[in-house]
Amino acid sequence: MQSTFQNQHKKTTALIAFVKGNNISPAKKSLKKISCLLVNPDVVAKELIKKPSFNHKFSYNIWSGPMDNKLIKYLKKNTYQYIVIDKWISDDAISHFLDMIRFHDVNNGKIINIVSFYEKVTLCSPMMYMNDYSENDPEELVIKPNASLLKTKRFIDIAVSLFALPFAIPIVGLAFLVTKLSSKGPVLFKQQRVGLYGKVFTIYKIRTMVFSPTGFNTPTIRGDKRITRVGKILRKTKIDEFPQFLNVLKGDMSLIGPRPEKKDIVDRFGAANIFYQYRHIVKPGITGWAQVNYPTATPEETLEKLEYDLYYINHISPKLELQIILKTAGVITTLNSL
């Protein structure tokens, strides 16, 4: 794959294509935005330039052609804050390019590969766009979390859940009572979901929708008429999720992680994208990076939401976990939930 890309680059005539991100003139954009040069942009770069988060902060030009002396001469005349290179360019080609920059004393911006740059700009992972790179092992593109970090995470899950139970039990009890008095049907909602390594488990929630003996086959959307009046309050305050502390103590879930989905959804999107399965290399969570950044999603948007789950898995850390907790608290206090 790498040699194929290199051969394509060698055959390509050097070309500078100045691409405007919007109708603002380049001179005005350079004063307000961060400048970057996209070198031989691939599918990830092409997706990035569609993102509002990119166009709001960055101006960009595109270089199509070999990373040779012509590019060096161009960089000596034009300064960028970021020089973004294709993920699939070989290490040797990158090393040679860096040697040329040092030799010619080119004082230009930070050199970064497109995957790292995409994550920096969007705070999500572009792995789903690499579905076509079938010659590459997907496992090489997803970083498995450190085992010791996961042990610490499990300890925190248990400690926080045990601490929260005395406060959660009376709230859940009151929610059970109000739910029972306000609508027909069981107060506890149980459903099969897919968890760690594809293991199916039973998730617990307080029922927030009108009861249907056969269940519902369509996803919940904002303003869904099936949600009861009490259910709206429970959803906005996340009280309906409190029974999942039991799932955490049982070991089926974590406090933080990708939200668990039903098996039919997992089967559907797992067949559509090879990276979807990697949501299951960590335990699902009560809240997660995708939940706080992309709280609702139609089935068509599920793969977009996957970007955030993969970012979380690749960058899982105490700092990111704290960010998720703070963002979750913000969602609850502003009642900005489904």
**Beta-carbon neighbour count of residue 130 at 10 Å?**
21
Once rounded to an integer, what is the mean pLDDT over residues 214-218? Answer: 65
Residues in contact with 218: Cβ distance below 8 Å, sequence separation at least 6, in sequence order = none
Q: Which of 21-25, 27-31, 249-253: highest mean pLDDT?
A: 249-253
What was the pLDDT predicted at 6?
41
* pTM (predicted TM-score): 0.80
Rounded CA separation 213/211 (Å): 7
Q: State which fold the 2-122 domain adopts.
A: Rossmann fold (3.40.50)
Does the pLDDT of residue 108 top 80, yes or no?
no
Q: Is 282 left (phi over 0), alpha (psi -120 to 50) or beta?
A: beta
Given a cut of 70, is residue 5 above it in pLDDT?
A: no
pLDDT at 130: 64
CA distance 151 to 134: 33
Where are the domains positioned within the chain?
Answer: 2-122, 147-333
Which pLDDT score is estimated for 89? Answer: 74
Between 274 and 122, name the one with better pLDDT.
122
| Confidence band, pLDDT 50/70/90 cuts, at residue 234 | very high
